[in-house]
Structure 1
Amino acid sequence: MAMITTHRSLSGSSQSPRSPSPQPSLSVSVIDPVKLGNGVQAYISYESLLSSDVLLMDVQSKVSDVVLGKEKPVEESNPAYEKLKHYIFELENHLAEAQKHAFRLVKRHRELGQSLADFGKAVKLLSASEQKTLGKAFSDLGTKAEMLSAKLQKEAHNLLMNFEEPLKDYVRAVQSIKATMVERANAFRQQCELAETIKLKEINLDKLMLTRSEKVGEAEIEYKELKVEGEEVTRRFETIVHRMNEEIVHFQEQKTLDLGLAFHEFAKGQAQLANEIADAWRSLLPKLEACSSTHT
């Protein structure tokens, strides 16, 4: 049994030969120091005996040995999970960028549609100042511009509902998974910290049982309560992991299908709009060419 003993007088001054009455003394003994744990979570467990002329008590202490100045955060060390986290964070960035440009595309269609509507009105007013063939050509041009304006506004709405909104949903789904990751990290940290506490309580209980201390009963109750709490925390962590796995499966299956459909509808809508615009302008060419040849 290792022991370190320190004696100290409780009086602030030294004894005088003329005052032979003894001063109260304090004796501190450190018994059986043992290093427990590893790395930044290592600590020294020891039993100290504090005694004086008027006081005697046992104190059990735990001292944390902090090597780097603070404890290292507890995180899951799982290559597959780390890969998944990297994928989710990267995917969120790419989807957010795609959604931003989808918004700009919707805005561009709306602005172009409004510009064509304004152009159509202006050309119709211009047709009123012209006569016969040229006036009729300007009027037809204005009508076509207004028709194409309506098509662009309709396509802008379709883009919003069938392209931009699905991208937003996709981003929200990724953010939901990220929120579950945070919840999972907190649950894992709580599980590890509680497991460490339970281990310390177990060590303390073993010591009390060896010394047949009166505190065994109380310590045993605390230990059992912590064990129950530890089991609940473990179940909670496992539930979160299970829910997250389900979210990932649903995300990869359903959302991937939804996004594939959204891109398909986007491409089909753009192709149809381009054809309708080309046909509309092409139908005006004979009339405009006739006007051009008449005035040459």
Structure 2
Amino acid sequence: MDPPPYESVLEDHGTNRYFATVSAVRKEFEIEVTEPVKHGEGVAAYVSYKVRTKTTHGAYAAPFHEVVRRFRDFAWLHDKLVEKNKGCIVPPLPEKSAVQKYTMATDFIDQRRRALQVFVNRVASHPVLKDSAELATFLQANEEAWMLEIAKWQAETNAQHRPVTAAAAWFKSLQHSAQSLVSGRADEIQEDAEYIKIRDYVNSLEAHLNEAHRQAARLQRKEADFGTALSEFAAAAEALGKQDNEGPMRAAFGCLFSRAGEVAALSRGRSEAMAADFAAPLKEYARTIKSVQAAMADRAAALTAYSQAKSDLDNKKVRLAKLRGTPGLKEDKIAETEREVNEADQRLRNAKLGYETIRETMREELNRFQKERAVEMSGLLRDFALAQARHSAEQAKAWGELLRDIQSTAPVNA
């Protein structure tokens, strides 16, 4: 089944031409993030949103829920899903911006609202994440239960000391690599060649998507600048025409002011539409690459753990063999080492299972990701071309009407 088009994960006010497609595809959830309300001022300011959910999912207590959430709460959902679903491509959140957060401009608030709505609908349409307890908690927990959940999460986050943990993991990985070099053994466990090709493709895709978004944003700004310049030119033309009291030039410049104003309004509207319907999806696709890379990092970490566990078991087996060959050694020393070998063997089994689980998860995830993005990107480009053609036709119509207006007001030669 094809995924819903990008616009379908935004709001629908009864005029969305994708409405029938959305209804057919998104059977279990319809989620709207709406009614942003700003609280506070300056760096302490934040925006709350109403999150309205209609669902037929059996895990939900009622078919309709409405809760109030802020960006921090969406971050809770994202981080919990990443933590609990290793190897899954968790939809990305919009980036944080300290400068924009401080100003809290209306357009920034609405852009974030739309991006958060895309995020939560992506989660709700994911074949695995849609069934998560975290999503159910986010969409239906009352204020008291939710505040307790957030407090617990913040306490856990503060207690984890993630930078220290990351440094320790890096040092352990470095130590493992050094041991392999000293012993003359390279890691026997390697990634599939096909997966490496996909990984390299994803890494190169990020730069191309970022550049495509940058140019789309530039195109959108150019359209807005053209609308502003044309509007200012129209005002200047009207002022010029007023110098000809009741003459034919006054009428002609008046027509120019009117029609140029129409075209300027079309350009401003097109710029706003390009920002929402073309630049924003490209930006989200670029952010999604970060999510794919995060899943790949989970896989790499699992492979490293598997390789380290295998190396550790091999070293303990060698040590046990040496102890068994040492005459006069106490049996309890050998027994202790045997226990260590058995424990290392169990760790290897667990690490192997963890890696194989993530590898299988990622196989399905990457297939889904490639299919969905191909369909969505094709639809995005098609809609962009149609919108541009429609915009050009509307502009041509306005200029054509101006031509007829000028011809009708032109003085007749005696």
Same fold (TM over 0.5): yes
Aligned counterpart for 1:206 among listed residues 297, 310, 321: 321
Count of paired positions? 233
Contact 1:75-1:185 at 8 Å conserved across structures: no
Cα deviation, 1:143-162, whole Å, max 9, x if unaligned, reads 11111111111111111111
Aligned counterpart for 1:89 among listed residues 199, 203, 206: 203
Find the aligned partners of 1:65 and 1:192 in 2 and give their Cα distance.
14
What is the aligned partner in structure 1 of residue 253 from structure 2? 138
What is the aligned partner in structure 1 of residue 385 from structure 2? 267
TM-score, normalization by structure 2: 0.51
What is the aligned partner in structure 1 of residue 180 from structure 2? 41
**In the alignment, does 2:297 pair up with 1:182?**
yes
Find the aligned partners of 2:215 and 2:289 in 1 and give their Cα distance.
18
Cα deviation, 1:147-198, whole Å, max 9, x if unaligned, reads 1111111111111111111111211222211222222222212211220110
Contact 1:173-1:251 at 8 Å conserved across structures: no
Contact 1:107-1:156 at 8 Å conserved across structures: yes
Contact 1:177-1:247 at 8 Å conserved across structures: no
CA RMSD, 1 decimal: 2.6
CA positional deviation for 1:286: 3.1
Q: Structure 2 matches for 1:1-296, cutoff 5 A?
A: 41=180, 64-65=182-183, 76-130=190-244, 131-211=246-326, 213=330, 214-289=332-407, 294=412
Secondary structure of 1:215 counterpart: helix
CA positional deviation for 1:244: 2.0
Find the aligned partners of 1:73 and 1:233 in 2 and give their Cα distance.
15
Alpha-carbon distance change, 253 to 221 in structure 1, aligned in 2, over 3 angstroms: same
CA positional deviation for 1:206: 3.1
Contact 2:259-2:401 at 8 Å conserved across structures: no
Stretches of structure 2 lacking an aligned partner (at least 5 in a row): 1-178
Greater C-alpha radius of gyration = 1
Find the aligned partners of 2:302 and 2:386 in 1 and give their Cα distance.
46
Alpha-carbon distance change, 78 to 88 in structure 1, aligned in 2, over 3 angstroms: same
Q: Which amino acid aligns with 1:253?
A: K
Alpha-carbon distance change, 279 to 156 in structure 1, aligned in 2, over 3 angstroms: same
Find the aligned partners of 1:138 and 1:295 in 2 and give their Cα distance.
20
Contact 1:198-1:227 at 8 Å conserved across structures: yes
CA positional deviation for 1:199: 1.1
Alpha-carbon distance change, 128 to 154 in structure 1, aligned in 2, over 3 angstroms: same
Contact 2:237-2:253 at 8 Å conserved across structures: yes
TM-score, normalization by structure 1: 0.70
CA positional deviation for 1:258: 1.4
Stretches of structure 1 lacking an aligned partner (at least 5 in a row): 1-39, 43-63
Secondary structure of 2:190 counterpart: coil
Contact 1:166-1:258 at 8 Å conserved across structures: no
More strand by share: 1
Cα deviation, 1:60-104, whole Å, max 9, x if unaligned, reads xxxx457xxxx9788735321221122212322222221111111
Q: Percent identity?
A: 27
Find the aligned partners of 1:281 and 1:251 in 2 and give their Cα distance.
44
Q: Which amino acid aligns with 2:180?
A: Q
Bigger mean CA offset, 147-156 vs 123-132? 123-132
Find the aligned partners of 1:104 and 1:72 in 2 and give their Cα distance.
48
Alpha-carbon distance change, 116 to 81 in structure 1, aligned in 2, over 3 angstroms: same
Q: Which amino acid aligns with 1:144?
A: R
Contact 2:251-2:409 at 8 Å conserved across structures: no
Contact 1:195-1:230 at 8 Å conserved across structures: yes
Bigger mean CA offset, 108-117 vs 166-175? 166-175
Contact 2:306-2:348 at 8 Å conserved across structures: yes
Q: Which amino acid aligns with 1:113?
A: G
Alpha-carbon distance change, 215 to 73 in structure 1, aligned in 2, over 3 angstroms: closer
Contact 2:306-2:352 at 8 Å conserved across structures: yes
